Structure 1
Amino acid sequence: MSRTGWMAAMVAASVAVMTGSAMADVTIAVNGPITGPYAVFGDQMKRGAEFATAEINAKGGLLGQQIKVLVGDDACDPKQAVSVANKDVTEGVKVVIGHYCSGSSIPASAVYQESNLLQITPASTNPKFTDEAAAKGWWNVFRTCGRDDTQGITDARFLVSHYKGKRIAVLHDKSPYGKGLADETVKGLEKASVKPAMYEAYNPGEKDYTAIITRLKSEKIDAVFVGGYHTEVGLMLRESQDAGFKGQWMSGDANATDELRAIAGASSDGFLMTFGPDQRNNPAAKDIVAAMRKTGFDPEGYTLYTVAAVQVWAAAVKTAGTYDAKKVAEQIRGKSFDTVIGKLTYDNKGDILDPKYVVYGWKDGKYTEYTQ
């Protein structure tokens, strides 16, 4: 081969390598409870992340590259979450969308920080997730949802306005999410000079909570706030109806799933919960909601918060012009983003400014904003 021919071949080979590199897939992770009692929320996150990345890929990808989604199953178990996090590091993912449970997000965040990996949770609401990270000088954690200390204020205000002077019980499942939300609600009650008549922990995963129901009846409780998940709350609702307990039940966002009705049956009617505004009704989400419903899936709960997490990351990557985690984080902190759930503005800790919470009431297996 002549020198000219050899040089031409090398140039062609170099172009081919560069083109292949430019078009190589980039992997992101979505981690949550794909199995176990809270798998419905892991499915919401998985569908949200896959939908968001499919939209990006259909428009040519991100920085010229297609996005793949690696799904990690932590089952809302802290040890399993750390194992999943270490796998993500080995796989070289560019961002972690997750986890769902605060008890998973918090321990996993240490792995991500050590490995310079960005984490955006759409669902973990415990204040410690961002507060403790900020205290340590970490830069890598963000969320697209609100916090328990904001949600707890909403819960407490409702209970004070409707049940002040009556007997209020607060229950929790001992988890970072459940206990965290219960304790923030108690803080709100006590600020209004309302002391709960009963504060009690229960063990998640039990098949029978009649002992708690019996105590609620004997204590003549008028309203019960539960910091916990739909699997246990649904069972308590059913057992309270069977036992003739007439008190009002209320809980938080971990009950935002149609599975609550499947567990509680008709006893879910009248149940109250707090969650962010129903993002399915957000004008910014109209097209995405319609597209997802065409597939037979209703994007309830944290589906759209997961879509928003991917959108925030992708927008920051575009602005930074790189996938480098630290440079991307710099383009999130203190910045605003137009997302499927509206405009999100971040503070210096990685929390969104002014998250909203509203009260919902359940009837006939569906929840709508409570207006009474």
Structure 2
Amino acid sequence: MFSVRNRFTLGMTLVAALGLQSQLLRAAGKDIVIGVAGPHTGANAPFGLQLWKGAEAAVKDINDAGGINGKKLRAVKADDACIPAQAKSVANKLVNTEGVSAVVGHFCSSSTIPAASVYRENNVLMITPASTNPRVTEDAAFKPRDCSGITDAGKKAKCELQNHSVIMRMCGRDDQQGVEAAEFVHKVLKAKKVAIVHDKDTYGQGLADAMKAHLKTLGQQPVIYEGLTRGEKDFNALVTKIKAAQADAVYFGGLHAEAGPLIRQMREQGLKAAFISGDGIVSEEFVSSAGGEKFVSGAYMTFGADPRKLPNGKKVVDSFRKTGYEPEGYTLYSYAAVQAIAAAIKGTGETRDGRKLSKWLFDNGADTVMGKQNWTQKGDLQKSGYVMYVWDTKGKYAEVGNKL
């Protein structure tokens, strides 16, 4: 029978073996493996499909152009279903079993945050196309070091390398997005009574809180601030409460699965208040979940400037459309994330050291279908402007026309 010490030693040996297995897989494999993690099942699977379609197309295009440093890319799909515990398990599998060189994902911030801890521990680069909660890159343990006093070149380079996070984004942050929404509601819509609703999730509540905080700086307090539960579909009692408060604008922090029924029930009860949300509804599934185009017509949402209109991505967009797929939402964000990863691997010749890859991206930036992208040491984009969109009677969204 094993003693406690023997069991501990055996456990540590297994952990070391798994880490070694991961390194060997990445070093000796014929392909450079990239994980694509997101909700490939469940209510948010449409967003997972966007991530997969974008990454899959980028991998194919890069391989058709000759690959990277004599090797081909290979994408591995990993389903976290937007469940935090599952996301962490998925991250461990990608690192220790698949031997990934980098990860595109995750989608839900509540899943990205726990998964990111795994990538940090294993020095694996992760670029999320969609997770906007500030906590994703605001790692409490990440404290930049002062390397200025180090005279030894090798030690200084090593010190500076530690100042680059392996957790990065190809999207903006909620503390930017919420601000823009508040400005629009207050200055453009001139709403006097604003109801703020969220889904109690890291992303949704974080977005709602950012909007509420900036609204306060503009001299307004919400008439209602409430959370609903993900997965529920009957929000009539909440709508009745919003009506009683005479709200002329309703801001929702959350995803399309709840936003759709909420706006439908608002309209069915005769509530004509403006409906505003964030990038969690940037999918035509918002129309389906609402029950049709007539319910979403006139709804607003914040999202980055439509990458489908950028000249850098025209060829890629045309290629998608020829296959019958419209690269909406985060499709091109995911494509761009693969491009950034590929550029860093090509530039460094490195497939195992996430910090070297992230430092290269910080130093050089990357040309993508969304234009030239540059990052901070924390992994946030240096520029990530949001614009306002409005849904029309045909169930399509387009920019309102004014950059916020």
Q: TM-score, normalised by structure 2?
A: 0.84
- Structure-2 separation of matches of 1:244 and 1:199: 21
Gaps of 5+ in 1: 1-20
What's 1:26 paired with? 32
What's 1:13 paired with? none
Tell me whether 1:366 sits opposite 2:373 in the alignment.
no
- Structure-2 separation of matches of 1:135 and 1:28: 24
Q: CA deviation at 1:165?
A: 6.2
Question: Secondary structure of 1:333's partner?
Answer: helix
The answer to whether the 8 Å contact 1:23/1:64 transfers is no
Runs of 4+ in 1 over 6 A off after TM superposition: none
What's 2:231 paired with? 205
Amino acid at match of 2:91: A
Q: CA deviation at 1:330?
A: 1.6
Question: Secondary structure of 1:203's partner?
Answer: coil
Residues 153-211 of structure 1, C-alpha deviations (whole Å, 9 max, x = no match):
11010011135461001110011110111111111101111111111111111020101
Tell me whether 1:237 sits opposite 2:243 in the alignment.
no
| 1:144-293 equivalences in 2 (<5 Å) | 144-164=170-190, 166-264=192-290, 265=292, 266-293=294-321
- Structure-2 separation of matches of 1:163 and 1:303: 30
The answer to whether the 8 Å contact 1:346/1:352 transfers is yes
Q: CA deviation at 1:136?
A: 5.2
What's 2:17 paired with? none
- Structure-2 separation of matches of 1:135 and 1:194: 35
Q: CA deviation at 1:226?
A: 0.3
- Aligned to 2:116, which of 97, 103, 109? 109
Tell me whether 1:350 sits opposite 2:379 in the alignment.
yes
- Structure-1 separation of matches of 2:139 and 2:236: 37
The answer to whether the 8 Å contact 2:191/2:249 transfers is no
Amino acid at match of 1:268: V
Q: CA deviation at 1:47?
A: 0.7
Q: TM-score, normalised by structure 1?
A: 0.92
What's 2:4 paired with? none
Tell me whether 1:88 sits opposite 2:118 in the alignment.
no
Q: CA deviation at 1:43?
A: 0.3
Amino acid at match of 2:312: A
- Structure-2 separation of matches of 1:165 and 1:237: 17
The answer to whether the 8 Å contact 1:78/1:103 transfers is yes
Amino acid at match of 1:29: G
Amino acid at match of 1:368: A
Amino acid at match of 1:97: V
Q: Could you say what the CA RMSD is over the residues aligned between the two structures, in angstroms?
A: 1.5
Q: How many residues align?
A: 352
Cα distance, 1:23–1:175 mapped onto 2, change above 3 Å: closer
Overall identity of the aligned pairs, in %:
45
- Aligned to 1:61, which of 60, 67, 70? 67
Cα distance, 1:311–1:133 mapped onto 2, change above 3 Å: farther
What's 2:334 paired with? 306
Question: Secondary structure of 2:362's partner?
Answer: coil
- Structure-1 separation of matches of 2:362 and 2:256: 33
- Aligned to 1:40, which of 43, 46, 57? 46
Amino acid at match of 1:108: A
- Structure-2 separation of matches of 1:267 and 1:116: 46
Amino acid at match of 1:152: G
- Structure-1 separation of matches of 2:320 and 2:283: 16
Q: CA deviation at 1:65?
A: 0.7
Amino acid at match of 1:365: G
Gaps of 5+ in 2: 1-26, 145-163
Larger mean Cα displacement after TM superposition, 266-275 or 332-341: 332-341
- Structure-2 separation of matches of 1:197 and 1:292: 44
The answer to whether the 8 Å contact 2:32/2:351 transfers is no
Q: CA deviation at 1:324?
A: 2.9
The answer to whether the 8 Å contact 2:194/2:247 transfers is yes
Residues 106-157 of structure 1, C-alpha deviations (whole Å, 9 max, x = no match):
0001111111211110000001111126635672100110000111111010
- Structure-2 separation of matches of 1:122 and 1:107: 16
The answer to whether the 8 Å contact 1:133/1:139 transfers is no
- Structure-1 separation of matches of 2:123 and 2:250: 43
Tell me whether 1:120 sits opposite 2:150 in the alignment.
no
Q: CA deviation at 1:332?
A: 1.4
Q: CA deviation at 1:329?
A: 1.8
Q: CA deviation at 1:335?
A: 3.3
The answer to whether the 8 Å contact 2:335/2:369 transfers is yes
The answer to whether the 8 Å contact 1:333/1:349 transfers is no
Tell me whether 1:99 sits opposite 2:118 in the alignment.
no
Amino acid at match of 1:214: T
The answer to whether the 8 Å contact 1:164/1:194 transfers is no
